[in-house]
Chains A and B, each alone.
Chain A
Amino acid sequence: EVQLLESGGGLVQPGGSLRLSCAASGFTFSSYAMSWVRQAPGKGLEWVSAISGTGGNTYYADSVNGRFTISRDNSKNTLYLQMNSLRAEDTAVYYCAKDPHNNGWSYYYFDYWGQGTLVTVSS
């Protein structure tokens, strides 16, 4: 059974940093691209970032490019999102999401989602 478990969310001041983790199990992690998708309270879904199966290719939304860094440790079956220079508008539930195809490339749609971790940026 595919499981994705996010952690690392919390309250942070504007300008601060936070690192999210997503522990994956139930599939060959290194064979699949992964993404982070966020949802502000009461709002819709916004794709944030993606990474290929090997970790060699990364992609970012314009809204986070230069501030967030996606990475993965395939030996630990874990996906990360390093978030720097956080802003109030980054407040959201952050989901990690799995790509459906096992060739390691991002197809940018998602067949499994974690439960999410809430990031609140406020002073």
Chain B
Amino acid sequence: DIQMTQSPSSLSASVGDRVTITCRASQGITNYLAWYQQKPGKVPKLLIYAASTLQSGVPSRFSGSGSGTDFTLTISSLQPEDVATYYCQKYNSAPPTFGPGTKVDIK
């Protein structure tokens, strides 16, 4: 099975900072990559699919890029409401696999 890794595992940044999270697949997955946001005590929310397509209703400060094995999620200007754990997930084939998550908080 394809394994997903994320870095960093956690980060602390100031409001307005540009934040980048990296996700790596152990094998190529073309662009079958989604990103989710899970706020504390809440349900996961789809942010991005197909590596770079923003889900409807998601603020434009979120963006995704990459293909093959290396992907990034960028928050262009961190806001207090972005405090959450972010998960990448590959879905090119079963089993769909999530990364371990990156916890983002405000400095």
Contact = CB atoms under 8 A, between A and B. Distances in A.
Interface in A90-123: 95, 100, 106-111, 113-116
Interface of B: 34, 36, 38, 43-46, 49, 55, 87, 89, 91, 93-101
A44 B87 contact: yes
A108 B43 contact: no
A45 interface: yes
A47 B96 contact: yes
B43 to A, nearest CB: 5
A100 B100 CA distance: 23
Interface of A: 37, 44-47, 50, 59, 61-62, 95, 100, 106-111, 113-116
Contacts, number: 50
Nearest to A116: B43
Contacts of A95: 43-44
Contact of B100 (A44, A50, A107, A114): A44
Nearest to B94: A59
A44 B46 contact: no
Interface of A is mostly: loop
A111 B43 CA distance: 11
A37 B93 CA distance: 16
A109 B34 CA distance: 7
A79 to B, nearest CB: 16
Contacts of B55: 111
Contact of A109 (B49, B95, B99): B49
B48 to A, nearest CB: 10
A109 B96 contact: yes
A63 to B, nearest CB: 9
Contacts of A107: 91
A95 B46 CA distance: 14
Contacts of A50: 94
A111 B98 contact: no
Contacts of A37: 44
Given A46-B98, A47-B97, A109 B46 contact: yes
